[in-house]
């Protein structure tokens, strides 16, 4: 009996070990893929490495137990935006093979800014959030109030607290759609 | 799981995206780097939503919607530049330079 209680007590923490392993492998892949996106000499390869980063992002959302956002990420990013990028590459007749003409001569500035920014951000994060653990307390509260899981709580949140921003975003999407058509049509 | 492991991953992706925006010359590749930046921000929003409630997830969804709009209009602009100048080399767009 005490064994069962102990197992129940550690259930929350035993989930951590596989999640941490998945996260470690995934983050290595994502960082390598992100660096390949900004350094590769081939435009199409950049779009395909971007798929790895965006998909990895979706899996990170799953590790953080945000299922609905993860599904939206897969549908919108992998389904629509990457295809849009590939269309953009084809329509602008970018060099499909290797090309040495994709970077400008600001690499030193870029590395300096990137490393300095990473240093500042990393220092601030380590100093502020040191060893804080993820507790998922907000999700537990949301589930306790709604009773039917976090996706329902998320939907309630969008259509009550965030209704006006939601409508504004839909108008923005409509404006972007019309704007893109107006810009891209030939006449 | 530590909160910081997610935040640091997001910071690395953000900085890689900033490097890409500075270094890349092809318009489509600059837009891809902007996507890296927006995704890094989304990881932060969702990591914090585990502490502070579902608002973070709602805003991550808004960021995804705005990113979709941005890519649509951005690619239309890049296409228009290509049609007018036969090239999407951003360094050649220097007509404002005196």
User: What is the three-state SS of A14-79?
Assistant: HCHHHHHHHHHHHHHHHHHHHHHHHHCCCHHHHHHHHHHHHHHHHHHHHHCCCHHHHHHHHHHHHH
Residue B53 inside a domain? The answer is yes
Tell me the shortest Cα–Cα distance from A33 to chain B, in angstroms.
10
Average pLDDT over chain B, rounded to an integer: 90
| Helix, strand, coil in percent for chain B, rounding step 5 | 85, 5, 15
Using a CB–CB cutoff of 8 Å, tell me whether B72 touches chain A: yes
Predicted pLDDT of residue A11: 47
Q: Running DSSP on this structure, what letter comes out for residue A80?
A: I
Residue B13 maps to which CATH number? 1.10.287.3510
Q: Are A111 and A95 in contact (CB under 8 A)?
A: no
A146: confidence class by pLDDT, cuts 50, 70, 90? low
Alpha carbon of residue A158 to chain centroid: 20
Average pLDDT over chain A, rounded to an integer: 86
Predicted pLDDT of residue A72: 93
For residue A104, pLDDT beyond 90: no
- More reliable by pLDDT, A46 or B91: A46
Predicted pLDDT of residue A8: 45
Residue B98 inside a domain? The answer is no
Give the closest of B28, B53, B67 to A142, CB-based: B53
pLDDT digits (tens, 9 = 90+) for A115-130: 999 999 999 999 998 8
Structure tokens at B5: 């492991």
What is the pTM (predicted TM-score) of this model? 0.89
Number of domains in chain B: 1
Q: Which residue has the tokens 């049609």?
A: B83
ipTM over 0.85: yes
- If one counts every other C-beta atom within 10 angstroms of the C-beta of residue A125, the result is 18
Q: Are B54 and A150 in contact (CB under 8 A)?
A: yes
Predicted pLDDT of residue A143: 75
For residue A12, pLDDT beyond 60: no
The answer to whether the CB atoms of A142 and B58 lie below 8 A apart is no
CA atoms B25, A96, A179, A74: torsion sign: negative
| Pairs across A and B, CB distance < 8 A | 258
A9: confidence class by pLDDT, cuts 50, 70, 90? very low
For residue B92, pLDDT beyond 80: yes
**A103 strand-pairing partners:** B24
* Residue ranges of domains in chain A, CATH in brackets: 1-99 (1.20.120.1200), 135-187 (no CATH)
The answer to whether the CB atoms of A184 and B46 lie below 8 A apart is no
Range of B13's domain? Answer: 3-92
Residue B22 inside a domain? The answer is yes
Mean pLDDT to the nearest integer, B77-93: 86
For residue A21, pLDDT beyond 70: yes
Tell me the shortest Cα–Cα distance from B45 to chain A, in angstroms.
10
Q: Are B1 and A27 in contact (CB under 8 A)?
A: no
């Amino acid at each position: 009996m005490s064994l069962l209680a102990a197992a129940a007590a550690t259930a929350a923490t035993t989930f951590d070990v596989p999640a941490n392993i998945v996260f470690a492998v995934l983050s290595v892949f994502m960082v390598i893929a992100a660096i390949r996106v900004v350094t590769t000499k081939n435009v199409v390869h950049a779009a395909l490495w971007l798929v790895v980063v965006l998909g990895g992002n979706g899996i990170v959302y799953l590790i953080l137990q945000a299922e609905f956002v993860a599904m939206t990420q897969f549908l919108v990013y992998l389904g629509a935006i990457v295809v849009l990028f590939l269309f953009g590459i084809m329509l602008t007749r970018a060099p499909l093979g290797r090309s040495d003409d994709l970077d400008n001569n600001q690499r030193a500035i870029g590395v300096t800014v990137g490393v300095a920014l990473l240093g500042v951000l990393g220092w601030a994060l380590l100093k502020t959030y040191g060893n804080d653990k993820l507790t998922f307390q907000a999700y537990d509260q949301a589930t306790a109030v709604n009773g039917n899981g976090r996706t329902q709580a998320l939907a309630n949140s969008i259509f009550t607290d965030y209704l006006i921003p939601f409508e504004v975003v839909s108008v923005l999407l409509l404006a972007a759609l019309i704007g893109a058509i107006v810009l891209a049509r030939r006449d | 799981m530590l909160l910081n492991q997610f935040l640091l991953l997001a910071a690395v992706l953000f900085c890689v995206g900033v490097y890409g925006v500075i270094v890349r010359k092809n318009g489509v590749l600059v837009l891809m780097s902007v996507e890296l930046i927006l995704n890094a921000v989304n990881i932060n929003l969702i990591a914090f939503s585990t502490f502070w409630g579902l608002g973070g997830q709602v805003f991550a969804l808004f960021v995804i919607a705005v990113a979709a709009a941005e890519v649509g209009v951005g690619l239309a602009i890049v296409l228009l530049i290509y049609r007018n100048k036969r090239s999407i080399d951003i360094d050649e767009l220097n007509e404002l330079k005196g």
